[in-house]
Amino acid sequence: MLLKKIILVKYGEIALRKGNRALYEKRLMDTLRKRLYDIAGDAIHVLREQGRFVIEDVRGDIDEKAVIPRIRNIFGVTAFCLCLKTDARELADIQNIAAEFFRGFLTDAPHTFKVETKRGDKNYPVPSREVSAAVGGYILERLPGLKVDVHRPDRVLWVEVRTYVYLYVHSEPGEGGLPYGSSGKAVLLLSGGIDSPVAGYLTAKRGVEIVAVYFHSPPYTPERAAEKVKDLTARLCAYTGALKLYVVPFTDVQLYLYENVQHSKLTILLKRSMLKIASVIAEKENAHCLITGDSIGQVASQTILSMEAVDSAAKFPVLRPLCAMDKQQIIEIAKKIGTYEISVLPFEDCCTLFVAEHPESKPKVSVIEGIEKRLSELTRLWEEAAGKACER
Ligand code: ATP
Ligand code: MG
């Protein structure tokens, strides 16, 4: 009889999407396979079984210490659990195996418990309730110190009847969201700050593939500022897999604007320039939107009117996943995903060096566009910057 430790992966939300379900499942399965490959190559199998993925090692029990850390960060996984898999189908065998399995989760102290059964295989002849009652009754007779409590049990033994039967006690919540790459592609304007990595993470969690772009202004921003953005990108990779980062040489655009426009309008014009150049990269990358880390009212350049004045420069919709969050909420996410410690390192990003004392908070689109039109060198400088953007 087969008895083997495996990992069962649950993926709630994507299972609900009828039309695209197969596509979403394939994405998630590919991601799982890719992330697990270097643990043991082809020996680790990821199989689909009635709305679940089963991860198993063809050589024997799964090495959960190696596998679980890699599943934790995968978007689209709602929960996962270490299970005992068996090919036993007879209720008497399942009772026996379940009791032995459950024993391993008990201490000397008295426990309350219940058994919950799910039948993925609707052809299994015994209804779920009866399986639970039979297994629960058997355990109660055999294992000392147990009492049934169906409302607030100390332990729940889950029995999932699928092509095989799976038993587990603990289920760990997964990262949630949608499989990475299943919802199109976007360009993330990634500065070295706290906000934009969080904006990237949240969007990627909805399944959007990301290409990061950083605007670098040497010698006003040190090389270490670019390194910091690279480190942030590497942190995000823990969730997304390999990520592309473009570094755009921004000094010429920045100096040109600094010398030619009223300083109160500088921030808006710099942001517009970033969106212009990011749009060129988005086209090249076949991406269809831009993402920034703006949050409404956080600073003068992040008012609704500023956003309106900035966005008309973009060729694609500009998503601002943090727009309605306050700083504390953003910091909490940054800490959870491990970008916070990198973001707070003190290297200036290009905007902080060129900020005006009194940036305008109520710019008018027509006025800003009028100013831009009169800047004869600007389009050329944008093109040059986009052309010189290089991948790191
Ligand atoms: P962050 O914490 O993300 O740096 P911030 O609070 O410092 O944001 P701003 O400097 O106004 O705010 O920047 C707003 C957004 O503009 C950033 O979240 C980012 O998406 C984009 N941005 C700003 N500077 C750069 C840069 N040098 N390279 C790429 N994107 C940038
Ligand atoms: Mg910043």
Give pLDDT tens digits for 8-37: 999 976 655 667 888 889 999 999 999 999
- In degrees, rounded to 5, the angle at the alpha carbon of residue 184 between the alpha carbons of residues 180 and 189 is 85
Ligand 1 centroid distance, CA of 294 (Å):
7
Question: Quick one: which atom of ligand 1 is closest to the CA of 350?
Answer: 27
Domain 185-391 has CATH 3.40.50.300: no
pLDDT value of position 20: 80
- Amino acid present at 170: H
Atom index in ligand 1 nearest the CA of residue 250 equals 27
Confidence of residue 392 (pLDDT cuts 50, 70, 90): confident
In CATH, the number for domain 3-173 is: 3.30.2130.30
> What does the DSSP 8-state code read for residue 265?
G
Structure tokens that stand for 23 in this block: 């596509």
Closest residue CA from atom 7 of ligand 1: 193
Percent of the chain with pLDDT over 90: 85
pLDDT tens-digit series, residues 162-214: 999 999 999 999 999 999 999 999 999 999 999 999 999 999 999 999 999 99
Residue nearest to ligand 1 atom 12, measured at CA:
294
What's the CA-to-centroid distance between 119 and ligand 2, angstroms?
A: 51
- Give the model's pLDDT for residue 349: 61
Residue 360: which pLDDT band, with cuts at 50, 70 and 90?
confident
DSSP letter assigned to residue 60: B
Counting atoms of ligand 1 from 1, which one is nearest the CA of 197?
Answer: 3
Q: Ligand 1 mean position to 153 CA, how many Å?
A: 49
Atom of ligand 1 nearest to the CA of 217: 27
* Closest protein CA for atom 30 of ligand 1: 189
Q: Which ligand is nearest to the CA of 323?
A: 1
From 189, 191, 247, give the residue whose CB has the most ligand 1 atoms within 8 Å, as the site to mutate: 191
What pLDDT band is residue 380 in, cutting at 50, 70 and 90? very high
More confident site: 317 or 21: 317
260: pLDDT strictly greater than 70: yes
CA nearest 289: which of 390, 186, 361?
A: 186
Which tens digits make up the pLDDT trace of 269-284? 999 999 999 999 999 9
Phi, psi of 52 (to 5 degrees): -140, 160
DSSP letter, residue 247: E
Please give the average per-residue pLDDT across 224-228, as a whole number: 94
For 263, the token pair is 């300083």
Grade residue 231 by pLDDT with cuts at 50, 70 and 90: very high
**pLDDT grade for 158, boundaries at 50, 70 and 90:** very high
| Domain boundaries along the sequence of the chain | 3-173, 185-391
Rounded to the nearest angstrom, the distance between the alpha carbon of 82 and the centre of ligand 1 is 41
Distance CA 349, CA 214 (A): 10
Q: Which atom of ligand 1 is nearest to the CA of 352?
A: 10
Minimum CA distance residue for ligand 1 atom 25: 191
Q: Which ligand is nearest to the CA of 214?
A: 1
- Name every residue whose Cβ is closer than 8 Å to that of residue 383 and which is 6 or more positions away in sequence: 280
Q: For residue 19, what pLDDT is reported? A: 74
Measured in angstroms, how far is the CA atom of residue 258 from the centroid of ligand 1?
18
Q: Report how far apart, in Å, the C-alpha atoms of 212 and of each of 2, 5, 90, 279 are.
A: 47, 39, 54, 12
**219 prior amide bond cis, ω within 30:** yes
Centre of ligand 2 to C-alpha 375, Å, is 25
Mutate to test the pocket of ligand 1, among 351, 352, 353 (most ligand atoms within 8 A of CB): 351
d(CA 352, ligand 1 centre) in Å = 10
**Cα–Cα distance between 188 and 287 in angstroms, integer?**
10
Ligand 2 center to 193 CA (angstroms): 4
Nearest ligand by distance to the CA of 266 = 1
CA–CA dist 7, 46 (Å, integer): 9
Ligand 1, residues at Cβ distance < 6 Å = 189-191, 193-196, 214-215, 274, 292-294, 298-299, 301-302, 349-351
- Close Cβ partners of 359 (under 8 Å, ≥ 6 residues apart): 264, 265, 266, 267, 268, 299, 300, 301
Distance CA 99, CA 89 (A): 15
For ligand 1, atom 20: residue with the closest CA: 292
Q: Is the dihedral of CA 73, 240, 216, 350 positive or negative?
A: negative
Percent of the chain scored above 70 by pLDDT?
Answer: 96
Give the C-alpha separation, 94 to 158, whole Å.
Answer: 12
C-alpha separations of 69 from 131, 171, 203, 232 in Å: 33, 14, 22, 20
pLDDT for 361 equals 81
Dist. CA 196 → ligand 2 center (Å): 8
Give the span between the Cα atoms of 233 and 344, in whole angstroms: 15
Measured in residues, the chain has a length of 392
Residues whose CB is less than 8 angstroms from the CB of residue 196 and which lie 6 or more positions away in sequence, other chains included: 188, 189, 190, 291, 292, 293
pLDDT digit string, tens, across residues 333-358: 999 999 999 999 886 665 566 777 78
Q: What's the mean pLDDT in 35-41? A: 92
What is the per-residue pLDDT for 363?
A: 87
From 190, 194, 196, 294, the mutation candidate for ligand 1 (largest count of ligand atoms within 8 A of CB) is 196
How far away, in angstroms, is 331 Cα from ligand 1 center? 15
Distance CA 82, CA 213 (A): 39
Pairing relationship of beta strands 244-249 and 209-216 according to DSSP bridges: parallel
